[in-house]
Amino acid sequence: MASGFFALLDDIAALMDDVAVMSKVAGKKTAGLLGDDLAVNAEKASGFISDRELPVLWAITKGSLLNKLIILPVAFLLSAFVPVAIKIILLIGGLYLAYEGAEKIHEYLFPHKHAKSTPVPEDLTKEQMLEREDEKVKSAILTDFILSVEIVIIALGTVSGEELPTQIGVVSIIALVATVGVYGVVALIVRMDEFGAKLIDMNEQTDSFSDKVGEFLVNALPWVIKGLALIGTIALMLVSGGIFVHNLDFVHDLVHSLPTILGEFLVGLVVGAIVLPLVGLGKKLWKSVSSK
C-alpha cells in the first residue's frame, strides 16, 4: 500500500514536471498574443476618472476570469473528443490575427478620417456615468473573450500531443497568467500618470527630482500605450504566421530557409494582405444586402 502511495506521488511529480516544461513552451507561443492583449486592455482600461480606474479594471478582470471558465471546458472537450477541431479553430484564429494586424498596419499607413468624438458632458449624473462605464466594461470583456479564445487555442495547440491532464495543467496556467499577469500590468500602466502626479505634488520645490520623475511618468503614459500597440501589431503577425508555418506543411516548406522570426512575420503579413481586402469586400456586400 505504501509503495502504491509513493508510486502515485511519483506520477504526480512527473506530471508536474511535464506541465512545467510544456508551460514554458506554450508561454513562448502565446507571449506575442499576450503582448497584444496587454496593449488592447491598457487602452480600454484608460480614460476613466482617476478614482474609477481600478474598480473598472477589477470589473474587467472578473469578466476575463468568467470568460476563461467558459472557454476552458469547451476547449478541453474538443481536444478530447474532436481534436481536429482544435487545428481548424487554430487556423481560423490565425486568419483573424492576420486580419487584425493587417488592419492596424493599413490604418497606420492610410489613416481613416474618423468622425469627431462627442465630448463627454461634464454635468452627467452618477447614474449616467456608471452607465457609460458599464458599456465600456462590456466592450472590454467582449474583446477579452475573443483574445482569450485565441490564447487558449494556441496554448492547447502547443500541447495537443500530450496527455489530457498535462493539457489541462498547461492551458490552465497560461489562462491564469493571461488574466492575472496581463491585468496586473495594465493596473500599473493606467495608474502610472496618477503616481507621477503624486510625485509632482510631493513637495513644494520646483524642478526637484521627484518633479522630474513625476513629469516623466505623466508624459510617458501615452507613449507607453502607443509602444505597446506597435509591439502588439508585430506580435499579431508573428503569432499568425507561426500558426500557418507550424500547421501547414506547404507554408513551412516555402519559408524554411529563412530565419524563423522573419519567415513567420512574412507569412503573417501575406495572409493579412489577402484577408484584409476580402473582409472589406464582405462588409460592403453585407451592407448592400442589408440596406435593401
Rounded distance, CA 35 to CA 43, Å? 13
Rounded distance, CA 21 to CA 29, Å? 13
* pTM of the shown model: 0.69
CB 147 within 8 A of CB 21: no
Rounded distance, CA 261 to CA 239, Å? 10
User: Dihedrals φ, ψ of 173, to 5°?
Assistant: -65, -45
CB 210 within 8 A of CB 232: no
Nearest to 260 by CA among 278, 285, 242, 281: 242
Reduce the DSSP state of residue 200 to 3 states and report it: helix
Nearest to 191 by CA among 169, 224, 166: 224
* pLDDT at residue 250, rounded to an integer: 92
Cell of 109: 499607413
Q: How far is CA 228 from CA 25, 44, 145, 195, 237, in A?
A: 23, 13, 20, 20, 14
Write the CB contacts of 26 (distance below 8 Å, at least 6 apart in sequence): 154, 155, 158, 159, 170, 171, 174
User: To which residue does cell 456586400 refer?
Assistant: 285
The H or E element spanning position 284 is helix 260-290
Which pLDDT tens digits describe the chain residue by residue (292 residues)?
Answer: 444 433 433 333 443 444 444 444 444 555 555 665 666 666 666 556 666 777 888 888 888 889 888 988 988 888 888 888 888 888 888 888 889 889 988 888 887 665 444 444 555 566 766 777 788 788 778 777 877 887 888 777 777 677 777 778 878 887 887 777 777 777 777 777 777 777 777 777 777 777 777 788 878 877 877 777 787 788 778 888 888 998 889 999 999 899 988 998 999 999 999 999 999 899 888 888 877 6
Rounded distance, CA 216 to CA 196, Å? 7
Amino acid (1-letter code) at residue 127: E
* pLDDT at residue 46, rounded to an integer: 59
Nearest to 190 by CA among 31, 34, 56: 56
* pLDDT at residue 18, rounded to an integer: 44
User: To which residue does cell 491598457 refer?
Assistant: 42
Residue 258: count of CB within 10 angstroms of its CB:
14
